[in-house]
Structures are given as structure tokens and as C-alpha cells.
Amino acid sequence: MDATDAEAICEAVTRPTMRFVPVKSEEQQSVLMLHRVRELLIRQRTMLVNALRGHLAEFGIVTRQGTVGVGMLIALVEDDDHDLIPPLSRSALLPLIGQLREVHEKVSELDRQIHAWHRSNELSRRLETIPGIGPITASAIAATVTDASLFKSGRQLAAWIGLVSRQNPSGGKDRVGRISEQGDPYLRRLLVVGAHAVLRFSRNGKTAATRWAAVLLAKKPYNIVTVALANKMARIVWALMATGRCFEAAGTV
């Protein structure tokens, strides 16, 4: 501790409304480490796939997007019964394919560990009952938000994640801007991805959240509805954490 740290501590204790960051347990820190390593490996996998696609595109070889297209490219490179790919190029691409498979196996192993912890954690299982939230998102929230009582409302949790609009007052009027994007970017991205999944099935949805999204989608642009739904999901997360209940299909939590 130096003079700056001591000054900051003295300043903090003189403010009764100061909000302190809760300390995570070793278990929570370990789960979040699994998530961070998983994210790093996924970025590496994406880089390898893009490199493979880019190199083969130079020979006019292009396939569909997704895992099916990548599988077709891998099979084409490993098949030496054709002359579409020069031998030197094939020898350069084979190490990429080997590394891609290795990274994919490591991501799958981390997924298994995260899912195992999710099944053993009561809070994470309850959060999974919310539409759009799966084991990955539920475990990340359970490991990140240590105490829901630190937030007075679901809106505060949504604001902490960065899913509320910026307020730009001017001339006595509040002008609503884009979302603040403050707080935890990982949780925000997971909730937005989950909202995208809910919107894809919102037309046939039976829960209040999906029906609400379908009605809003008829009035607002898709991206705005996606963020609004992610915000609603964050508020439901707070409600479940604060009350100890599971999500109910009727939407009353």
C-alpha cells in the first residue's frame, strides 16, 4: 500500500453512501476463469477458420458459412486425390486444421466443465429457466453477480451491465441515446445473444417474455427490440435472485 491507496481508503470511509465491490469466492473466480479461457479459445478458433477460408478463397474455393462449410473445406484439404489445391498449399494448411481441431476439443472440454458446475449450482439452474438464458449465460451471471441485494431494482442491475439508454438532458428535456455499454461487456453480450435467440422464436412463443417481444417487434427495429429484451432479461434475473424463485411461464416473478 502506498500513499495513493491510503488516501483513497480515507476518502472512501468518509462517504457513507460509497458502494463497495463484493469479493468473489474462489469458486466464483474459478468459474469465471473457465469462461475467460473459453472465450479466448473461441476467438482463436474463429481466427483459424477465417485464415483457412481466406487461403482457400485465393484458389476460388468458397463454401457455405457455419460448421458444415468448414467441414467441407477441411475434407477438401485432407483429400489429396484432386489437384484443386497445390501440394505446398496443402502442407501449409494441414497444421491450421490440426490446431483448429485441438482448439475445438479444448472448447468442448471447457463447456463440459461449465455445464457440470451449472448443474451443481442451484442459482444457475434457476436462472436457466428464463427464456434466452442457457447454462453458459446462467453460470456466468451466477459467478459474476455475488449479491443481488446490492442492487435496489432490476433496472440497477441492467444499468450495471450496460443495457440502459444514456440520458442526455438538454434545455430541460431528457434525450434518450444509445445504451451506455458500461459495466460487464461479457454478460451484456451473452444476454444480447440470448435475446436474439428468443426473437427468432417469438412468433410462436407462449411465455410473456416472447409474446412481449413479438408485439414490440411489430413496432420497433430489430436491434432496438433485441436490446430491450436483453434489458428485460436482466431485470428478470434480478427478480429471481432477489426472491429465490424460478421463472414462471405466465411471466409473474
- Angle (deg, nearest 10), helices 87-120 and 67-78: 140
Assigned domain for 7 exists = no
Q: Is residue 13 part of a domain?
A: no
Task: Give the pLDDT of residue 201.
Answer: 76
Question: What is the extent of the structural domain holding 148?
Answer: 122-253
218 and 147 housed in the same domain: yes
> Of the candidates 99, 120, 141, which is a domain's last residue?
120
pLDDT given for residue 251 in this prediction: 45
Q: Digits of tens for pLDDT over the chain (253 positions)?
A: 677 777 777 776 777 666 666 778 899 999 999 999 999 999 999 999 999 999 999 999 999 998 899 999 999 999 988 888 999 999 999 999 999 999 999 999 999 999 999 999 999 999 999 989 999 999 999 999 988 888 889 999 998 898 887 554 444 444 444 555 677 899 999 999 999 988 887 665 555 666 777 777 888 888 888 999 999 999 999 999 999 888 876 544 3
Asked if residue 253 belongs to a domain, the reply is yes
pLDDT at residue 19, rounded to an integer: 63
Q: Measured between alpha carbons, how far is 121 from 169 in angstroms, rounded to an integer? A: 43
Helix (H) or strand (E) segment spanning residue 134: none
- Is 228 inside any structural domain? yes
Give dist(CA 61, CA 103) in Å, integer. Answer: 24
Distance CA 172, CA 252 (A): 36
Total number of domains constituting the chain: 2
Of 73, 71, 244, 78, residue with least CA distance to 148 = 244
Q: Is the domain of 133 the same as that of 224? A: yes
